[in-house]
Structure 1
Amino acid sequence: MWDCARETASCSSPTATGSSCRRFPRRSSICGAAFRSPVRRISRPFAAGYGSGEGGRRRKVSVERFFADTNLFLRYLTNDVPEQAEAVEALLRRAAGGEIRLVTNALVIAEVVWALESYYRLPPAKVSNCVLAILNTPGLEVVESEVLFQAVLWYGEKRVDFADAYNAAWMVQRGITPAYTLDEKHFSRLDGITALVPGS
């Protein structure tokens, strides 16, 4: 099995560039792109989907959108079925070139985390690197990308379940900092969250 986390960028920030970030072999311009773009830019219209109109103004060019399922990312990251990984790479290149737009969501990311952790037995830090690569893939729109980015960082750094990290990031984005929970141990590790236990 190809260890995606060993080959992807080793930096902790998506804005890091230069020699401190290693890239995917053969796929450096596609999945992850060495984390060179801030995650908040993922959901912006892909540059190749725009053209110049009259007077130098830019006009939007319609690009068809397609949902990207969990197994695409797993095949590509692990390369355990090479022919499928190559097919996914070709699809990602089409998206990176602006020919199509790929869209995915938080549940897909959660499934990727679960599979890499449970089936492929990768530790959280390596799973986090793999998911960060997905979140920074050009031509891929990730719904709630900023929430997911924070969740993935907490998951990799704070030793908490991904679901707890996601819920905490979702709360913080909406200005909700106190949380009633029976899992005080995990929530108390997350910055900005006040864990409250009913009856205490």
Structure 2
Amino acid sequence: MKKYFIDTNYFLRFFLKEEKKQFDIIYSLFQKGINKEVKLFTSVVVFFEIYWVLSSFYKKKKNKIIEFLKKILKLNFIEFENRLILEEAVNFFQKFNLDLEDCYNLAYAKLKKANQFATFDQILNKLSAENLR
């Protein structure tokens, strides 16, 4: 079975539908993934690149970025590195006024059952004390 690593621009083109020809190519590959004809996977770095491009290049508001990221994580035919941590990170991102990177670290610490978050960031310290139980 062929394996495909899905890069940032595939997710962006698929959901933003800016270019019909590219969308059709992506749609075809995703259909093959749904039908288990190919294996599709991506990385945490791609997820953060999507966040960065949406916020910096497209100037999307936080609520739209969250909506976009949640849609991506619902693509269960694509294997995501650390999907559970990413899902929790997006939940924290929606709930708190933190960068997505900090939310990811908080979610990772929670998954690893950390007792405390060692940081000089007072906001993150307070939130970790409340959420690492």
Q: TM-score, normalised by structure 1?
A: 0.61
Distance 2:27 2:125 in 1: 37
Question: Once the two structures are superposed, what CA deviation does each residue of 1:58-86 show, in whole Å capped at 9, x if it has no partner?
Answer: xxxxx332111111001111112222122
Query: For residue 27 of structure 1, what is the aligned residue in structure 2?
Result: none
Question: Once the two structures are superposed, what CA deviation does each residue of 1:154-193 show, in whole Å capped at 9, x if it has no partner?
Answer: 1122121000000011111111131122222245335424
Distance 1:177 1:121 in 2: 36
User: Between Structure 1 and Structure 2, which shows a larger proportion of helix residues?
Assistant: 2
Match of 2:26 among 88, 99, 105: 88
**What is the SS of the residue equivalent to 1:160?**
coil
Query: For residue 152 of structure 1, what is the aligned residue in structure 2?
Result: 90
Query: Which 5+ residue runs of structure 2 have no aligned equivalent?
Result: none
Note if contact 1:131-1:152 (Cα within 8 Å) is conserved in structure 2.
Answer: yes
Query: For residue 110 of structure 1, what is the aligned residue in structure 2?
Result: 48
Note if contact 2:44-2:82 (Cα within 8 Å) is conserved in structure 1.
Answer: yes
Query: For residue 62 of structure 2, what is the aligned residue in structure 1?
Result: 124
Mapping for residues 1-200 of structure 1, pairs under 5 Å = 63-189=1-127, 191-193=130-132
Query: Which 5+ residue runs of structure 1 have no aligned equivalent?
Result: 1-62, 195-200
CA RMSD after TM alignment: 1.7
Q: 1:91 to 1:171 in 2, by over 3 A?
A: same
Structure 1 consecutive aligned stretches of length 4 or more whose deviation exceeds 2 Å = 186-191
**What is the SS of the residue equivalent to 1:182?**
coil
Query: For residue 40 of structure 1, what is the aligned residue in structure 2?
Result: none
Distance 1:91 1:129 in 2: 23
Q: 1:99 to 1:187 in 2, by over 3 A?
A: farther
Higher radius of gyration, 1 or 2? 1
**What is the SS of the residue equivalent to 1:180?**
coil
Q: 1:125 to 1:189 in 2, by over 3 A?
A: farther
